[in-house]
A = this chain, B = another copy of it.
């Protein structure tokens, strides 16, 4: 448990705490009172003035709590000197910019307000009616306006698998990989929220039997199972973030699907890295699970050999035990097939190390910046985080429960990532991160 947490904040994590919102107490619910993830939502509920406007909410059980309403009703206080309209905004950035003390204070207040024994909201039927929307009725938006998106490459198993397939199995891991969290700049404009359809990209494909590339629809469309973290406090240009301080700069985490066009990627990526193979879409889950909610699930990261250079060292535990799954459901199928099961704890480089490395040369970061983990592959063939690895470049297609097989993604397929931390009798979940594939433009 982080030493910077107050007793009040620790109490929000008490596994015995229950809510008067019954659905939140279900052991399988992603959003128990211990979670309280932040997002942005709108709803078209009749008679709710302004309800179509996107605003800040917190998921609890099968409901979304409208923080703008709770704040207006005087049940949720912000620091007196702070902007008071941060919950009525269409992105979390202004709220996040208030700083960690404010996030933590809001978390403590909400945990108390939703606790079984607290009557204030529980017994106020009229306010409750206005302050909640059913999750199923809410439209969920991109939770943050993302000024910058960076994607890392921090799973040793993933880097080894890809290196084996595309370079040399004998020297699959490049020498720089073990020395730094390799990362690259992603495209922020095309980060979309879960549920947004994804169009199969067109691009240049270099077919083995032809001298020149052809233009056409991607034939090797893939997912990358990732998590992402949202920067909660930026740094100025030229002022690096120390590894020991890096977690103080992190607001929370999301699931992230780094859609990848493998054939476009293989032809374009030398020497400047992936571009059109990735920039057509990146999907994130709508709820940002705060680092505070993840505290009980902190674990040791894998041993690092060689010992990292000093700027990449931190004491204590900086990995998190987040179970992850990928499910594929073909168009019209009733049943999805779980095609991969892995865990975020396998990541070689921590989020703190990623952020320290990102800024060590002087790069500035900003509130709302999104940093992807890189594909999270585990040690076994059923724990790989991409179809490329799961099917070994379509050599070993996957059998689907609904019939048929998959080497790569087909049109109409719906891919869903899911993730959760398993507590004692509850789980702190991320919800899902879903995208369905539309056919390429003709």
A residues sitting closer than 8 Å to B (CB atoms) are: 147-148, 153, 167, 174, 176, 179-180, 182-190, 192, 199, 201-204, 206, 212-215, 218, 237-238, 240, 261, 264, 267-277, 279-281, 306, 309-311, 357-358, 360-366, 369, 438, 441
Question: Which residues of chain B come closer than 8 Å to A269, judged between CB atoms?
Answer: 271-273
Cα–Cα, bound, A188→B237 (Å): 12
Question: Which residues of chain B come closer than 8 Å to A357, judged between CB atoms?
Answer: 276
- In chain B, what residue has the closest Cβ to A159? B271
Residue pair B363, A190 in contact (C-beta under 8 Å): yes
Residue pair A270, B174 in contact (C-beta under 8 Å): yes
Residue pair A240, B153 in contact (C-beta under 8 Å): no
Question: Which residues of chain B come closer than 8 Å to A280, judged between CB atoms?
Answer: 237-238, 361-363
Question: Which residues of chain B come closer than 8 Å to A240, judged between CB atoms?
Answer: 202, 441
Q: A186-B185, A189-B365 are in contact. Are A268 and B180 (CB under 8 A)?
A: yes
- In chain B, what residue has the closest Cβ to A264? B361
Question: Which residues of chain B come closer than 8 Å to A189, judged between CB atoms?
Answer: 147-148, 237, 363-366, 369
> Can you list the 7 inter-chain pairs with the closest CB atoms, starting with the nearest?
A273-B273, A201-B361, A280-B362, A185-B185, A279-B363, A184-B272, A276-B361
Residue pair A179, B362 in contact (C-beta under 8 Å): no
Cα–Cα, bound, A192→B147 (Å): 15
Residue pair A176, B267 in contact (C-beta under 8 Å): yes
A-B contact pairs, 24 of them (CB 8 A): A147-B188, A176-B268, A180-B268, A184-B185, A184-B272, A184-B275, A187-B363, A189-B363, A189-B365, A190-B363, A199-B238, A202-B240, A202-B360, A202-B361, A203-B361, A204-B309, A212-B306, A215-B309, A215-B311, A270-B271, A272-B273, A276-B360, A276-B363, A279-B362
Residue pair A271, B215 in contact (C-beta under 8 Å): no
Question: Which residues of chain B come closer than 8 Å to A206, judged between CB atoms?
Answer: 176
Question: Which residues of chain B come closer than 8 Å to A174, judged between CB atoms?
Answer: 270-271
Cα–Cα, bound, A218→B203 (Å): 37
- In chain B, what residue has the closest Cβ to A188? B148
Residue pair B362, A212 in contact (C-beta under 8 Å): no
What's the minimum C-beta distance from A133 to chain B, rounded to whole angstroms? 27
Question: Which residues of chain B come closer than 8 Å to A306, judged between CB atoms?
Answer: 212
Question: Which residues of chain B come closer than 8 Å to A201, judged between CB atoms?
Answer: 361-362
Cα–Cα, bound, A311→B192 (Å): 26
Residue pair A310, B268 in contact (C-beta under 8 Å): no
Cα–Cα, bound, A112→B187 (Å): 41
